[in-house]
Copies of this chain bind each other. A is one copy, B any other.
Amino acid sequence: MPEMKLDRINLRILEELQKNARITNQDLAERVNLSPSACLSRMRRLEEEGLIGRYLAEVAIDRIASTLKAFVEITLENHRQADFRRFDQAIARQPEVVASYKVSGRFDYLLMVVVPDMNRLRQLSDELIEAEIGIAKFVTVPIIEQTKLFDGYPLREMIAGAGG
């Protein structure tokens, strides 16, 4: 099991960093009632153990260029390991596909794509289908508006709700 016990202080450190990755160590230490040195060593430890992965800045892409975001439901023709691997590798090379999820249900993958407009989305769809990476079906679900922004995982609920 790749799970690790967290004490209350580490939990609060993760909560703070989730919402403000550029907080200074001093401010963070103050918020969690720790000395800066103790806080820093905890933070480093959380990084080393992989509990904190990357630090990302949110860019307001739609203030830079006009943007079409969409989900794309993908069904593959075949479902051997090699088919999934080929698809994943092709997707990794497409910068406009910003995230890819293997799912269970009416289709095999749900992609999130970000493109300038519908023309480019159609073009991307053509490219992927003709790339011979085993796509049987390609269904576009345009995003009208993101009505709730990702604001960190519900850490407390996950810990309280889990058996272990």
Query: Which residues of A are interface residues toward B (Cβ below 8 A)?
Result: 1-4, 6, 14, 17-22, 49-67, 71, 84, 88, 91-92, 95-106, 109-112, 114-117, 120, 139-155, 157-159, 161-164
Q: Nearest B residue to A71 by beta-carbon distance?
A: B110
* Secondary structure type dominating chain A contacts: mixed
Cβ of A46 to closest chain B Cβ, rounded Å = 9
* 20 pairs, CB–CB < 8 Å, chain A vs chain B: A2-B62, A3-B64, A3-B66, A14-B59, A20-B55, A51-B60, A53-B59, A55-B56, A56-B58, A61-B155, A61-B158, A65-B164, A71-B101, A98-B151, A98-B153, A99-B146, A102-B146, A103-B144, A115-B158, A116-B157
